[in-house]
Amino acid sequence: MFFASDNSGPVHPNVLAKLAEANQGYQMAYGADTMMDEVRARIRGIFEAPNAAVYLVATGTAANSLALATLSNPWETIFCSPVAHIHEDECNAPEFYSGAKLTLVPGGDKMAPDALRDSILGEETRGVHGPQRGPVSITQVTERGSVYSLEELQALCAVAKEFELPVHLDGARFSNALVALNCSPAEMTWKAGVDALSFGGTKNGLLGVEAVVFFDESKAWEFELRRKRGAHLFSKHRYLSAQMAAYLDGDLWLKLARRANANAARLADGLREKGAEFLHEPQANMIFASFPRSQHKHLHEAGALYHLWGATLDGEDESELLACRLVCDWSIGAEDIDRFLNLL
């Protein structure tokens, strides 16, 4: 009963098999491996973007930080949600790489176009004194488990384009969002107005690989230099390529995301039946739900692992509703979900 995170489960066996397959003979280092050529071509194909620049790094924070640094200047500000991963969970890495400041667009988890426009307008009244307007970073799936609709993405990108600002999509859970929206990768990125994408694999069955995709390739060489200078260029790059190749083979990435989302749906349905309340309707593989302290205690004692959200088990009032975050990855079995629900 492990619902703590989607970075704690095992990797899919196909990925290990692909590592073994890649482990034959000699390969040029630093991204010049033959498997990377294949991966690049396939990502370009999947995104209908024949000229896209495609790179692999090993952590989501590296993907976000390097992409944002490439899109921005150190005297600029990056617009994002107040709960964006780049703001809350990367220990100043985006600032370290870019030199830019993060401007938190007021509102909730999801940025609203009007709030974004107001934030951007607010950053250009002081000439050289204030930071200049820089990229907009959108998180899809959001950190609270919501999924922007295509219309919402388009509207946010349109605001950015009003001001000629580039758009970055933090897609650590890109696959989960894609299968939730049932749209094409192109629709969820460049067709909506996204310029650079962190295309996550780590949370969806890989050991540790994220692709960074620039739909405009003009920044490609700068990105390569930034990646090396950030110590994120792997010498034995073939093992990153192999993970991504396994991910794309036979649409494994989509299958795993569908499984994770289905797991979350099964869990959400059960929670609903048990009377739990939701922060908002679960859409991908994360659930933010509230139910009584007594039930949390019961689950906890039975070994269920997940994070309470702004709450603590300690407390007298057994009926108090405590919020929690429940995350499902691809590997969770139905029996685990049902056992969890039965304990409620």
Asked if residues 132 and 123 have their Cβ atoms less than 8 Å apart, the reply is yes
Nearer to a copy of itself, 13 or 315 (CB): 13
Question: Is residue 97 a contact residue for a copy of itself (CB under 8 A)?
Answer: yes
Separation of first and last alpha carbons in the chain:
13
- Rounded to the nearest whole angstrom, what is the least distance from the CB of residue 152 to a copy of itself in the complex? 26
CA–CA dist 65, 58 (Å, integer) = 12
Asked if residues 200 and 171 have their Cβ atoms less than 8 Å apart, the reply is yes
User: Which of the stretches 9-17, 137-145, 265-273, 279-287 binds a copy of itself when contact is defined by CB under 8 A?
Assistant: 9-17
CA–CA dist 157, 32 (Å, integer) = 34
Asked if residues 318 and 291 have their Cβ atoms less than 8 Å apart, the reply is no
- Rounded to the nearest whole angstrom, what is the least distance from the CB of residue 238 to a copy of itself in the complex? 9
Residues in binding contact with a copy of itself, number by CB under 8 A: 71
> What is the footprint of a copy of itself within residues 289-318 (CB under 8 A)?
305
Question: Is residue 218 a contact residue for a copy of itself (CB under 8 A)?
Answer: no
From 43, 49, 60, 152, residue interacting with a copy of itself (rule: CB under 8 A): 60
Scanning the structure block, which residue is given the tokens 């997940």? 306
Question: Is residue 235 a contact residue for a copy of itself (CB under 8 A)?
Answer: yes
Question: Is residue 40 a contact residue for a copy of itself (CB under 8 A)?
Answer: no
User: Which of the stretches 37-45, 235-243, 246-254, 256-264 binds a copy of itself when contact is defined by CB under 8 A?
Assistant: 235-243
Question: Is residue 253 a contact residue for a copy of itself (CB under 8 A)?
Answer: no
Of 126, 119, 117, 132, the closest CA to residue 82 belongs to: 119
DSSP annotation of 105 reads P
- Rounded to the nearest whole angstrom, what is the least distance from the CB of residue 130 to a copy of itself in the complex? 6
Question: Is residue 124 a contact residue for a copy of itself (CB under 8 A)?
Answer: no
Give the CA-trace dihedral at 92, 134, 47, 93, to 10 degrees.
-10
From 45, 51, 114, 236, residue interacting with a copy of itself (rule: CB under 8 A): 236
Question: Is residue 118 a contact residue for a copy of itself (CB under 8 A)?
Answer: no
Scanning the structure block, which residue is given the tokens 């758009």? 167
